[in-house]
Amino acid sequence: MAQKALILGCAGTVLSVDEAAFFRDIDPWGLILFRRNCAEPDQIRRLVGDFRAAVGRADAPVLIDQEGGRVQRLSPPFWPKYPPARIFAGLAANDPLLGRAMARLAGRLMAHDLLSLGITVDCAPVLDVPVAGAHDVIGDRAFSLVPAEVAALGRAMAEGLLAGGVLPVVKHIPGHGRAGADSHAALPVVDAPREALDDDFLPFRTLTDMPLAMTAHVVYTAIDPRRPATTSRRVMQSVIRGAIGYDGLVITDDLSMNALEGTLRARARHSYAAGCDVVLHCNGKLDEMMAVASEARGLAGRARRRAEAALGRIRHLPEPLDQVEALALFQDMLARQQTEPSSSGFAAGHALSV
């Protein structure tokens, strides 16, 4: 059976017999891990290895959301607790070069953590630009309220991940920052005029060279008043592939989120029809994964070329890193930020702990 344009989850810390058989039959492009799947390092390595054995591909992508702050699937005592992205804007306010250097170092350190477990894709950085009155689902997950600063700091983190042999996923294209609702729970509708959306698009336009992007389950009425970006061919063609100019692999956000309507089969079908290359289903429920898989397309044509190009970005030895020394430097710089006032107005009290 041909490899499928799918990324799926699993229920627990080990693959069940049924999950392994399902993955063997379906051959999804990748697996995504959540906190429910992560107990300790050796367990994660076994889980990753069992997935790759099931699909028969040693380089099958394994993804995780490791942004820092509120969205971090790997946490102490086995892994450092990283600060939210917003902390880097505080550093950059006093020293832009330092802010970018620290964002890159955070990405490099996270890549070290992930690659040591066999995880090769991090669903970060967040390139959304929050605005006043938006839902706080993004909040301090965003690097800044200034689009150009989001672009600069997001690039720095993405380059740190790539240097460490881990693929970044820029999200949530074309922008979730104006959303007045959490798309996990409801469908956000953004009524901003088209010209105002250019600020949202700027970070994504600046990082079009990044290999992977994740969509926003958000309606932009100025572009398509009926469908969210994930299932809107108009948004895909006129904005993501058009105005933004992104030609990397586009992955949906989680199809099981409540922002989307219809059955899971319909959500998958509409996402492919809109032009998404790969669909993502996260909750690990086998019956739901089977429903999504029943609509799955083979990974072929431009989607396959984009997927191969993405994997080609990490077919290199990771940039050398003394992890102990680098982590100590990172901690020291954040500790200094805690004791020094920031002209940015952002709170600096996000220490990194282990």
Position 134 pLDDT exceeds 50 = yes
Tokens representing 178 are 């104006």
Collapsing DSSP states into helix, strand and coil, what is residue 54? helix
Query: Average pLDDT, stretch 293-318?
Result: 97
Question: Between residues 181 and 299, which one has the greater pLDDT?
Answer: 299
- Under 8 Å between Cβ of 163 and 215: no
Query: Average pLDDT, stretch 235-251?
Result: 98
Percent helix, strand, coil in the chain (nearest 5)? Answer: 45, 15, 45
Render pLDDT for 262-304 as a digit per residue (tens, 0 to 9). 999 999 999 999 999 999 999 999 999 999 999 999 999 999 9
- Under 8 Å between Cβ of 114 and 160: no
Stated pTM of the model: 0.94
- Catalytic pick among 136, 184, 198, 316: 184
Under the banding of pLDDT at 50, 70 and 90, the label for residue 340 is: low
Q: Identify the pLDDT of residue 254.
A: 97
Please give the share of the chain, as a percent, with pLDDT higher than 90.
Answer: 89
Under the banding of pLDDT at 50, 70 and 90, the label for residue 353 is: very low
Under the banding of pLDDT at 50, 70 and 90, the label for residue 93 is: confident
Peptide bond into 172 cis (omega under 30): yes
182 is catalytic: no
- Catalytic pick among 253, 254, 270, 277: 253
Position 346 pLDDT exceeds 90 = no
345 phi and psi, to 5 degrees? 85, 0
135 is catalytic: no
Q: Identify the pLDDT of residue 297.
A: 97
